[in-house]
Amino acid sequence: MKKTLVAIAALAALGAQAQSTVTLTGVMDAGYQSGKEYGQSASTVVQNGSRTTAIKFIAVEDLGQGMKAKFQFEADPAITAANGNLNNAYIKADSRAFANSAAQSGNTASAQSGLVGAGYNYVGLESSIGEVQFGTLNTNTLATQGLGAQKFGTAIGSGYKKIWADLTRFENSFKYITPTIAGFNATYLKGVANDSAYGSTTTVTLRRPAVEEIGLNYANGPVAVAYSNLTSKTSPNEAPATTAATVSAANVKTTYDTLAATYDFGIAKVGYGMQNAKNNAGFNTAVTPLDRSLNTKAQMLTATVPYGNFLFLANSGSRKTNNQGGVLDTQTALNGQKSKFTGLGAHYNFSKNTYAYLMYEKATMNDVDMSAVVVNGAAGSNAAQALTAGTDRKRTVTAIGLSTAY
Question: Number of structural domains, the chain?
Answer: 1
Q: What percent of the chain has pLDDT over 70?
A: 72
pLDDT tens, position by position, 76-131: 888 886 555 555 444 333 333 333 333 333 444 444 544 455 789 999 999 999 99
Q: Decide if pLDDT at 148 tops 90.
A: yes
Is 149 inside any structural domain?
A: yes
Q: What is the pLDDT of residue 297?
A: 94
- Does residue 13 form part of some domain? no
Q: For the beta carbon of residue 85, count every other beta carbon within 10 angstroms.
A: 29
Strand partners of residue 56: 25, 74
pLDDT of residue 386: 61
Cα(402)–Cα(234) distance, integer angstroms: 40
CATH code of residue 179: 2.40.160.10
Q: Quick check: 393 and 370 in contact, CB under 8 A?
A: yes
Residues of the chain with pLDDT > 90, as a percent, come to 50
User: Residue 238 pLDDT more than 60?
Assistant: yes
pLDDT band for position 22 (cuts 50, 70, 90)? very high
Q: State the number of CA atoms in the 13 A half-sphere of 349 facing the CB.
A: 12
Is 2 a member of any domain?
A: no
**What's residue 114's pLDDT?**
44
Tell me, what amino acid is at 240?
P
**Is residue 217 within 8 Å of 184, Cβ to Cβ?**
yes
pLDDT digits (tens, 9 = 90+) for 263-277: 999 999 999 999 999
Reported confidence tier of residue 206, pLDDT bands at 50, 70, 90: low
Q: What pLDDT score does 173 carry?
A: 93
| pTM score | 0.85
Could you tell me the residue range of the domain that residue 167 belongs to?
A: 23-405
DSSP 369: -
Helix (H, G, I), strand (E, B) or coil at 345: strand
- The HSE-up count of residue 94 (CA atoms within 13 Å, CB side) is 29
Give the Cα separation of 239 and 225 in Å (integer).
Answer: 39
**pLDDT tens, 251-309?**
888 899 999 999 999 999 999 999 999 988 765 455 555 566 788 899 999 999 999 99
pLDDT at 4: 45
Query: For residue 383, what are the contacts with CB-CB under 8 A and spacing of at least 6?
Result: 330, 333
Residue 6 forms part of a structural domain:
no
Q: Is the pLDDT of residue 392 over 70?
A: yes
In a domain, residue 14? The reply is: no
Q: Is 119 helix (H, G, I), strand (E, B) or coil?
A: coil
Q: Is residue 5 part of a domain?
A: no
Residue 186 lies in a domain: yes
CB 405 within 8 A of CB 354: yes
Buried b (16+ CB within 10 A) or exposed e, 182-221: eeebbbbbbbebbeeeeeeeeeebbbbbbbebebbbeeee
